[in-house]
Structure 1
Amino acid sequence: MSSVKGITQSGEAVSQNSEAAVYSKVTWRVIPLLLMCYVVAYLDRVNVGFAKLQMLRDLHFDETVYGLGAGIFFIGYFLFEVPSNIILHKLGARVWIARVMVTWAFISAATMFVTTPTMFYFFRFALGLAEAGLFPGVILYLTYWYPSKRRSKMISLFMTSIPVAGVIGGPLSGWIMHSMSGVYGWAGWQWLFLLEALPSIVMAIAVLAYLDDRISDAKWLTDDERRLITAEIAKDQAQTQSHSLRDGFTNPRVWLMCSIYFFLAVELYGVGFFLPTLIRNSGVKDPLAIGILSMAPYAAAVIGTILVGRSSDAMHERRLHITIPALIGALAWLVTVRFGHDIVVAMIALTVVTCCVIIAISQFWCLPTAILSGAAAAAGIAVVNSVGNLSGFLGPFFIGWVNQKTHSTDIGLYVLATALAIGGLLVLHVRKELVNR
C-alpha cells in the first residue's frame, strides 16, 4: 500500500508541477503585455493631474472646470463600456484592444490643443469613449485563461500597472513639464499630452503581434498544454452561477458589486487626479520634485499589491483582503488631513493611502469573476466597472468644487475617507462561500 500511495503522491506532484509550468508559460506571455498596455492607458488617463499644475494658470481655468473635465471622462466611459466589452467577447481581444489603444492615443495627444473649457470637456469625454472596454476587457480576458484559484495573483500582477504607471509617470511627467516648457512655443503641459500618447501606438502594434484571442489560437502552447488549460477553465466555469448575457445585467449580486466598486473607484481617481496637488500643498513647488516624490506611494503599492494577491490565493480568502486595506486607507486619509502641511508625515500617509486603495481594488476584481462566466462575465464585468466608475466623474467634480469654495482640500479628503470605509464594509455582505475559492 505504501508504494502505491507513494506512486500516487508522486504522480500528483508531477501533475501539479506540470500544471504550474504551463501557467507560468502563459503568464510570461500574457501578463507583461497586458500590464504595459494598461500602464500607458492609465498614464494617458491621469496625466491631466500633472498638466493641472500649469494648465489652469495658462488657460485661466478654475478648480471646478478642472474637476468637471477630469471627471467627464467617465461619462463617455460609462456610455460605451458595456457594448465595448460585449464586442470584445464576440470579436476577440486582439483586434479590439488594439483599436481601443490607437483611438485613445490620438485623442489624448489632441488634448494639447485645448484652449477653452468646452474643448477640455469634449476631449476628456471623447477619451472616455475611446478607452471604454480596455480594463474590463482585460479582466474578462484573464477569465479565459486562469481559473478562480489562480486569478487573484494574476489580477494583482495586472493591477500593478496602475502603481507602475505612477512610478514611471510621475518623474516622466514632472521632467516633461520642467524641461520642455517653451520648446517650439508649446507649454510643458502640451508636450506632456503629446509625448505620453506615443507609447500607446507602440503597444497597439505589440497587441496585434503577440496577443491570442483564445486558448486554441495559442501556437506557442503544445496540444497537451492547451487541453490542460481548457479543462481547468471548463471545470471552473461549472462552479459559477451566472453564464448568460441576461445574467450580467439582472443578477442582484452584480448590483452589489456595482455599489462596492462605486465607493472604491472614487479613491483611485482621488489619488490619481489629486496626488500631485496634495504633494504641492505640503510645501513642494517644483513639478520635477513633485513627480519624483509621487514615485514613493506607487512603488509601495506595487509591492503591496503583489504580496496581498499571493496571500489571497494561498488562503483562498477574498473579503478581508479588501476590507482591511480599505479601513487602513480610510484612516490614512484622515492623517493626511491632520498633517497635510508636514511633508514627511503627509508623504507617509499618502503612501499608505495609495497602497491600500490599489490593493483593495485589485482584490475586488476577484469577486465578480468568481460568480460570472461567459457572456454574463462580458456584460457583468463591464456593468460593474462602468457604474462603479461613475464615481470617477462625481468625485473629481465634487472635490474640485469644494476645493474652490473652501480653498481647502480637507472636506474632499474626509469624503474620500468615508467612501473608502463604506466600500470596504460593503464587501462583508458578499457571501464568502461564493468567492473564497
Structure 2
Amino acid sequence: MDQFALESSTTKKVTLRLIPFLFLCFTISILDRVNIGFAALQMNKDLGFSNAIFGFGAGIFFLGYFLLEVPASAMMAKVGARKWISRIMVTWAILAILVAFVKTPMEFYMARFLLGVAEASFYPCMVAYLSSFYQTKHHAKAIAGFMVAIPGANALGSPLSTYLLSINWLSLAGWQWLFILEAIPALILGIICFFYLDDRIEDIKWLNKDEKKWLIDVTTKERLEKQQIKHYTFLQALKDRDVLILSAGYFCWMVGYYGINMFLPSISKGLSEATALSNQSIGWILGLMYVCAMVTMILVGNSSDKKNERRWHVAVCLTVSAAAMIISSYISNSSVILSFVFLTIALCGAFGAYAPFWAIPPSFLTGAAAAGAIALINSIGNLGGFFGPYIVGYIKDTTGSFHTSMIFLGVSMIISSCIVVSLVKQSGKVQSKSDENILKKTS
C-alpha cells in the first residue's frame, strides 16, 4: 500500500473511531452547560430569581472551571485521557442532577460552581487527546468534527429543553426534570468512555500493523519538528507570550459568546412577545439557528485547513458576529424577523471561529506543553463565561432591555478579533522558519 493510500485509510479509521464518540460526549457536555438558559424561562419565576442572580449563577460555573482547569489538565497527563475523561463525565452528571433541587440563590451559586469544578479540563483534554491522533494539517477539520457538537447540542437542546419544561411528574417542575433527564446520558457515556478510548496510539487494536506504524511515525516526526519551534515543558508553556495573548483574545470572545448564549432564550422570548410564541416554538426557532451555526463551523474548519490559515478565519468570523449582534439590537423594535436573522448570523460567526482558533496551539506546541497551553487558554478564556452573563443580567435589570448589553458583547468580540490578528503573526513566522530548516536538512 502506497503512502497516500495508507494515510487515507488510517485517517479515515481514526476519524470513524474517535469523532462520533467524542462528538456525542461533547454534545452532552454542552447540553448540560447551557440548558440553564432554557431553565431560566421557568426557574427564575418559580424561585424568584432576578436577571442579575441568574446571570451570576450561570456565570459562576466558569469560575470553578477556571480555578481547576490547569491542575486538572496536568492530572490527565499523569493518569491518562481514558480514566480522566471518564471521571469528569460521571462527576458532572451527578452534580448536574443536584442543580434540579436548588431553592435559594446561594444553593444555586454553589451547585453551578461545583459543576464547573467537576467539568474543569474536559474540553482541553478532548482537544489535546484528539490532536495527538492526527497530523497537523488535519487538526482544524478534526477539531471542527467534534466541536460541531457545540451548536449541535444547542440545535438538539433547544426544542428538547423547551419540551421538558412542559412536563410535571412526581411533583417536580419541568425545569427540574430538564436538569435530571439531560444529565443521565453523561453518566452512561462516562462509564462507556473508560472502556472505549485508548490513551496512546501504541495501545490501539483497531488499526492494522502498517496503519499503526505509519501513524506512530508521522505523529512522532511532527512532534520532533514542533519541538524545534518551541520545546517547552507543561509549566513553561503557561508562560509563553503567544499562549498568554491567545488567552486574552479567547477571554474577550467568550464574554460575547456566553453573554448572548446564556440569555438567548430570554432575548428570543422578549422579541417574540408581540407574536405570542410559545416556549416550544421558540425552541424550534433556536434549533434552526444553531443548525445554521453547525454548517458554518464545518465550512470554516474545512476552509481553514485547505488554505492553511487560522488567524484571519477567526477574526472575520468574530467581526461578522459582533456586527450582526449590534445590528440585531438596533432593529429589534422594528422587525422581529430581521432581528432573528441577524441573531442567526451572530451565532454563525461566534461558532465558526472555534475550529481555526483551536488549531493554533497544537501548531507550535506538543505533548504536555500543548495540553497545558490549551488548558490555560480555555481556563482564562472561560472567565469570560463568568463576566459575560453576569454583566448582561446586570445591565438588563438596570436598563430594562438587552440593547446596551448587545452592544457591549459585540465590542468585546471585536477586541478579540484584533488581538488574534495581531498575535499569530509571530507564531506563523517561527513556524515558517522551522519548516525552512527542516526542508534544508532533508534536501
TM over 0.5: yes
Q: Deviation per CA, 1:13-41, whole angstroms, max 9, x where unpaired?
A: x3212201111100000011111111001
314, 319, 342: which is aligned to 2:311? 319
2:348 is matched with which residue? 355
Indicate the residue corresponding to 1:149 in structure 2: 137
> Retained in 1: the 8 A contact 2:237–2:372?
yes
User: SS where residue 234 of structure 2 aligns?
Assistant: coil
Q: Distance in 1 between matches of 2:326 and 2:431?
A: 31
Using the alignment, how far apart are the partners of 2:102 and 2:158 within structure 1?
22
Aligned to 1:308: 300
Q: What displacement does 1:62 show?
A: 0.6
- In structure 1, distance between residues paired with 2:148 and 2:430: 25
Secondary structure of the structure 2 residue equivalent to 1:195: helix
Name which of 155, 180, 184 aligns with 1:198: 184
**Do residues 237 (structure 1) and 223 (structure 2) align?**
yes
- Between the aligned partners of 2:404 and 2:288, the Cα distance in structure 1 is 25
Aligned equivalents of 1:434 and 1:67: distance in 2?
42
2:103 is paired with a residue whose SS is coil
| Equivalent-residue separation in structure 2 for 1:49 and 1:331 (angstroms) | 23
| Distance (Å, rounded) in 2 between the aligned partners of 1:395 and 1:73 | 12
Q: What is the Cα deviation at residue 136 of structure 1?
A: 0.5
Of the candidates 258, 266, 285, which is equivalent to residue 269 of structure 1? 258
1:329 corresponding residue in structure 2: 321
1:226: which partner in 2?
A: 212
**Equivalent-residue separation in structure 2 for 1:415 and 1:129 (angstroms):** 28
2:173 counterpart of 1:187: yes
Q: Distance in 2 between matches of 1:298 and 1:68?
A: 25
2:201 corresponds to 1:215? yes
* Aligned position for 2:74: 86
Q: Secondary structure at the match of 1:243?
A: coil
In structure 2, which of residues 102, 109, 127 is the aligned counterpart of residue 121 of structure 1? 109
SS of corresponding position for 2:170: helix
In 2, are the aligned partners of 1:248 and 1:378 still within 8 Å (CA)?
Answer: no
Q: Is the 8 A contact 2:63 2:116 kept in 1?
A: yes
Tell me how far apart the structure 2 counterparts of residues 275 and 360 of structure 1 sit (CA, whole Å).
Answer: 19
Q: CA deviation at 1:264?
A: 1.5
C-alpha separation between the residues in 2 aligned to 1:209 and 1:54? 38
Displacement of 1:154 after TM fit? 0.5
TM superposition shift of 1:314: 0.9
Report if aligned partners of 1:112, 1:190 keep a CA contact under 8 Å in 2: yes
Report SS of the residue matched to 1:282. helix
1:225-279, Cα deviation, whole Å (9 max, x unpaired): 1111112212222232143122221111110110111111223312320111111
Contact map agreement 1:266 1:416 (CA 8 A) in 2: yes
SS of equivalent to 1:196: helix
Q: What is aligned with 2:405?
A: 412
Question: Which residue of the partner structure matches residue 393 of structure 1?
Answer: 386
Contact 2:300 / 2:355 at 8 angstroms: preserved in 1? Answer: no
How many angstroms apart in 2 are the aligned matches of 1:434 and 1:189? 51
Partner of 1:166: 154
Query: What per-residue deviation string (whole Å, max 9, x for no partner) do you get for residues 333-371 of structure 1?
Result: 111111224321122111111111011122210111212
Listed one character per residue, the Cα deviations across residues 269-310 of structure 1 (whole Å, up to 9, x for unaligned) are: 123201111111111542111111111221011111111111
**Rounded Cα–Cα distance in structure 2 between residues aligned with 1:256 and 1:414:** 24
Q: Does structure 2 conserve the Cα–Cα contact (< 8 Å) formed by 1:54 and 1:189?
A: yes
Structure 2 residue runs without a partner (length 5+): 436-443
* Counterparts of 1:281 and 1:232, CA distance in 2: 53
Question: How far did 1:196 drift?
Answer: 0.6
Contact 2:141-2:355 at 8 Å conserved across structures = no
Residue 364 of structure 1 aligns with which residue? 357
Q: What letter corresponds to residue 203 of structure 2 in structure 1?
A: D
In structure 1, the residue corresponding to 2:342 is in which secondary structure? helix
SS at match of 1:219: coil
Q: Give the equivalent residue in structure 1 for 2:42.
A: 54
For 1:428, the equivalent position in structure 2 comes to 421
Q: Which amino acid aligns with 1:201?
A: L
* Residue 254 of structure 1 pairs with residue 240 of structure 2: no
Q: Partners of 1:264 and 1:218 in 2: how far apart?
A: 37
Do the aligned partners of residues 245 and 107 (structure 1) sit closer, same or farther apart at CA in structure 2, a change above 3 Å counting? same
**Any conservation in 1 of the 2:396–2:405 contact (CA below 8 Å)?**
yes
1:30-62 deviations in Å (ceiling 9; x for gaps): 011111111001111110000000111100111
Assess if the C-alpha contact under 8 Å between 2:300 and 2:353 holds in 1. no
> What is the CA RMSD across the aligned residues, in angstroms?
1.4
Counterpart of 2:170, as a letter, is Y
The answer as to whether partners of 1:159 and 1:358 remain within 8 angstroms in 2 is: no
Whether the aligned pair in 1 keeps the contact of 2:144 and 2:298 (CA below 8 Å) is yes
Q: Residue 52 of structure 2 corresponds to which residue in structure 1?
A: 64
SS of residue paired to 1:392: helix
Shift of the 164–177 alpha-carbon distance from structure 1 to 2, 3 Å rule, reads same
Given residue 186 of structure 1, which amino acid in structure 2 is its aligned partner?
A: L
Paired amino acid for 1:93: A
How many residues align structurally?
A: 423
**Is 1:175 aligned to residue 163 of structure 2?**
yes
TM-score, structure 1 as length reference = 0.94
Deviation of 1:435 (Å): 6.5
Is residue 294 from structure 1 mapped to residue 286 from structure 2 by the alignment?
yes
The aligned counterpart of 2:441 is: none
How many angstroms does 1:183 deviate by?
Answer: 2.2
Q: What secondary structure is seen at the aligned counterpart in 2 of 1:145?
A: coil
CA distance in 2, matches of 1:101, 1:293: 29
